[in-house]
Amino acid sequence: MSKELVFGHQSPDTDAIVAAKAFSYLENKLGADTEAVALGEPNEETQFVLNHFNEPAPRVIEKAAPEVDSVMLVDHNEPQQSVSDIADVTVSHVVDHHRIAGFNTAQPLFYRAEPLGCCSTVIYKLFKENNVEIPAKLAGLMLSAIISDTLLLKSPTTTETDVAVVKDLANIADVDYETYGLEMLKAGTNLASKSETELIDADAKSFELNGSTVRVAQVNTVDLAEVLDRQAAFEAAAKDENAANGYDLFLILATNILDSNSELIVVGAPTAPVEAAFGKKLENNRLNLPGVVSRKKQVVPPLTDAFNA
Amino acid sequence: MSKELVFGHQSPDTDAIVAAKAFSYLENKLGADTEAVALGEPNEETQFVLNHFNEPAPRVIEKAAPEVDSVMLVDHNEPQQSVSDIADVTVSHVVDHHRIAGFNTAQPLFYRAEPLGCCSTVIYKLFKENNVEIPAKLAGLMLSAIISDTLLLKSPTTTETDVAVVKDLANIADVDYETYGLEMLKAGTNLASKSETELIDADAKSFELNGSTVRVAQVNTVDLAEVLDRQAAFEAAAKDENAANGYDLFLILATNILDSNSELIVVGAPTAPVEAAFGKKLENNRLNLPGVVSRKKQVVPPLTDAFNA
């Protein structure tokens, strides 16, 4: 069997980086020849995690086809979130926890998705099913990914399985997950040192919604005022991104990870489906979204419905 | 949790019927409220299986949305192979062993696919992972599905896993699988009593290939001459089906299950990609395909490539 690359989505978050490392480790234990790579540099939170567990950042690739015939996707499946030449390689495996959209293959494949809080939780189950032991360092990385995706088990995407897996991984890694988790999340909210463009690029995904290309960025903070004070600059950065990349609409979900509330900044058109999705009118290009912390569960589904209405 | 329906593809074969029963049984054991139904009456092979194990045929449904909000698909994912109102319900679970094509959801879901010979083999693994015992009767049904899909473990889709699972299921069901399997396959090849339209409808699937709707029917036999003697009538029936349903191309794969050879009868247009797919010129509207027994592995992938070339 020839070598395959394993990677998460563009603008990688902690789960995208860690899930690739974890699944590559598992597949290699099961006899495959894989390398975990990434479609971008680690963000500050992920860098904190890698430093904490003394783990190197994965190699960043621009294209897959020059290196391999076949790839394994983790934490995503939608082609526009994947490597730029995804159409030129065969996808042999997918492990994910998102909706399925625009993903097509010519051949049967291994596809494992579950509606859990984190892709690393699904991969934990694969380790158990295959009776492969999780090393302490990898357990620490996977624990970090689940804390990141579930905002320390507080996001509505969190399931009982995520909670149980976090506890088991914390035990294997010998980490006090609550103390460590808060420290880790705060490391990802150091906004002052970054430009608005960097911030809306760090955790952003594109969605094709009934003919419109909608970009949804999430910016985590411990103080929403810190984001809203820079609103004009965020809007200018989003407008530039729309023009440069052909996005119709740019949504910036600014989320307070301490009290689980968000403000949504809306740049571009159409705005009517966004207002319809949340049942509110834009004021100063913003919607206040109390209790909303999950792009996947609380933003994309109502948007999809509103665009298709 | 409200009730959900579980079903396989249209024109159900033994795996489509059995996988629905098996997955529904498992989900109910795990706490769900499901009913296994079917999108058509059992074919002769499946009826033989149900009679042999004294199992009733599933209820046939035309639509899902009048009954339930949410469904579970087995042995298929492509919308045109599913219930007619699939767009009006939520798909919560898929268990499959085919390529993924045209399948899109708004929400995360449970999706389990593996490139194994039979969907019932994947479901066997789910029973094991969840520590649910397979009753003897269900083991007999699942065994039958794997024998059907793999032509008694001779199809190139057969994996080591399928072979091991057949042996375990035969043990649980207390069946001599080789003797039983041949008897079962022969029960599905009673062609004399059926019209050409019935025969090309019994195990047929539609594929969207680069803008063309291609219908691929498979007719199993123990004597290819029995099919080829009726070629003119088969072509007329396929032509009628094309006109009635808007198919561009109708392919009839007549397969000798004893020696694993096929003849492909081609009705409609374009024929050039069919010739390109198999590197042969049509003669008398036919291609001779020695060693070809699997629509999924040996027919659809080269066709897909040829249509996209």
Same-domain status, A75 and A167: yes
B84-123 residues touching A, CB cutoff 8 A: 97-115
Q: Helices A136-150 and A177-187, interaxial angle, to 10°?
A: 60
Q: Write down the residue that tokens 């010739």 correspond to.
A: B275
Tokens representing A61?
């690739």
Which member of A100, A297, A304 has the closest CB to residue B103? A100
Q: Where a domain ends, among B186, B207, B234?
A: B186
Annotated ligand binding at A9? The verdict is yes
pLDDT > 90: percent of chain A: 91
Same-domain status, A164 and A202: no
Residue of A nearest to B300 (CA): A106
Helix boundaries (H) for A108-247: 119-129, 136-150, 160-173, 177-187, 196-202, 224-228, 231-245
Core vs surface per residue A23-35: b (16+ CB within 10 A) or e: bbbbbeeeebebb
* Cα end-to-end distance, chain A, whole Å: 47
Q: What is the CATH number of the domain that holds B154?
A: 3.90.1640.10
SS3 state at A145: helix
Number of domains into which chain A is organized: 2
> How far does the CA of residue B107 sit from the closest CA of chain A (Å)?
5
Q: Domain range holding B27?
A: 4-186
Residue of A nearest to B118 (CA): A108
Tokens representing B223?
């004597």
What number is the ipTM of this complex?
Answer: 0.84
Find the helix or strand (DSSP H, E) in which B6 lies. strand B4-7
Tokens representing A38?
């990434």
Same-domain status, A203 and A182: no
Q: What is the CATH number of the domain that holds B211?
A: 3.10.310.20
Same-domain status, B108 and B143: yes
From chain B, the residues in CB contact with A106 under 8 A are 99, 300-301, 304-305
More confident residue, A61 or A107: A61
B99–A108 C-beta distance less than 8 A: yes
Which member of A106, A110, A301 has the closest CB to residue B107? A301
Same-domain status, A172 and A254: no
Q: What are phi and psi of B178, to 5 degrees?
A: -70, -45
**For residue A296, is pLDDT > 90?**
no
A110–B100 C-beta distance less than 8 A: no
Find the helix or strand (DSSP H, E) in which B14 lies. helix B14-29
Q: Which of A92, A97, A111, A127 to mutate to test the interface with B (most CBs of B within 10 A)?
A: A111
Total-model pTM:
0.86
Same-domain status, B181 and B227: no
B108–A97 C-beta distance less than 8 A: yes
Same-domain status, A120 and A147: yes
Residue of A nearest to B75 (CA): A108
Q: How far is CA A45 from CA A73, A102, A147, A253, B63, in A?
A: 22, 30, 11, 17, 48
Whether residue A299 lies inside any domain: the answer is yes
From chain A, the residues in CB contact with B107 under 8 A are 99, 115, 301
Query: Is some CB atom of chain A closer than 8 A to the CB atom of B124?
Result: no
Same-domain status, B173 and B201: no
Q: What residues contact residue B102 under an 8 Å CB cut-off, 6+ apart?
A: A104, B78, B79, B80, B208
> How far does the CA of residue A85 sit from the closest CA of chain B (Å)?
17
Whether residue B191 lies inside any domain: the answer is no
- CA-to-CA distance for A143 and B6, rounded, in angstroms? 35
Whether residue B182 lies inside any domain: the answer is yes
Q: Write down the residue that tokens 């693994």 correspond to.
A: B125
Whether residue A224 lies inside any domain: the answer is yes
**For residue A52, is pLDDT > 70?**
yes
- CA-to-CA distance for A34 and A28, rounded, in angstroms? 6
B304–A106 C-beta distance less than 8 A: yes
A112–B111 C-beta distance less than 8 A: yes
Which member of A100, A300, A305 has the closest CB to residue B104? A100
A102–B115 C-beta distance less than 8 A: no
What sign has the CA pseudo-torsion B228, B231, B237, B241?
Answer: positive
> How far does the CA of residue B239 sit from the closest CA of chain A (Å)?
27
Q: Where a domain ends, among A161, A186, A211?
A: A186
Contact A287, A262 (CB under 8 A): no
- CA-to-CA distance for B221 and B224, rounded, in angstroms? 6
DSSP state of B31: T
> How far does the CA of residue A261 sit from the closest CA of chain B (Å)?
22
Q: Where a domain ends, among A166, A186, A206?
A: A186
A99–B108 C-beta distance less than 8 A: yes
Q: What is the pLDDT of residue A1?
A: 62
- CA-to-CA distance for A88 and B10, rounded, in angstroms? 32
B98–A108 C-beta distance less than 8 A: yes
Mean pLDDT of chain A: 95
Same-domain status, B170 and B248: no
Residue range B197-228, pLDDT digits in tens: 999 998 899 999 999 999 999 999 988 999 99
pLDDT > 70: percent of chain A: 100
- CA-to-CA distance for B256 and B227, rounded, in angstroms? 10
Whether residue B238 lies inside any domain: the answer is yes
Whether residue A76 lies inside any domain: the answer is yes
Q: Write down the residue that tokens 């015939």 correspond to.
A: A69
A100–B99 C-beta distance less than 8 A: no
Which neighbouring-strand residues pair with B35? B5
Residue of A nearest to B97 (CA): A108
Considering only CA atoms, which of B165, B97, B127, B107 is closest in space to residue B24? B127
Whether residue A228 lies inside any domain: the answer is yes
**For residue A257, is pLDDT > 90?**
no
Same-domain status, B181 and B200: no
**Regions in chain B scoring below 70 on pLDDT:** 1
B101–A305 C-beta distance less than 8 A: no
pLDDT class of A268 with cuts at 50, 70, 90: very high
A113–B108 C-beta distance less than 8 A: yes
Query: Is some CB atom of chain A closer than 8 A to the CB atom of B25?
Result: no
- CA-to-CA distance for A250 and B108, rounded, in angstroms? 22
Same-domain status, B141 and B121: yes
Same-domain status, B169 and B211: no
Whether residue A191 lies inside any domain: the answer is no
- CA-to-CA distance for B266 and B41, rounded, in angstroms? 26
Task: Classify strands B34-38 and B90-96 as parallel, antiparallel or unpaired.
Answer: unpaired
Annotated ligand binding at A174? The verdict is no
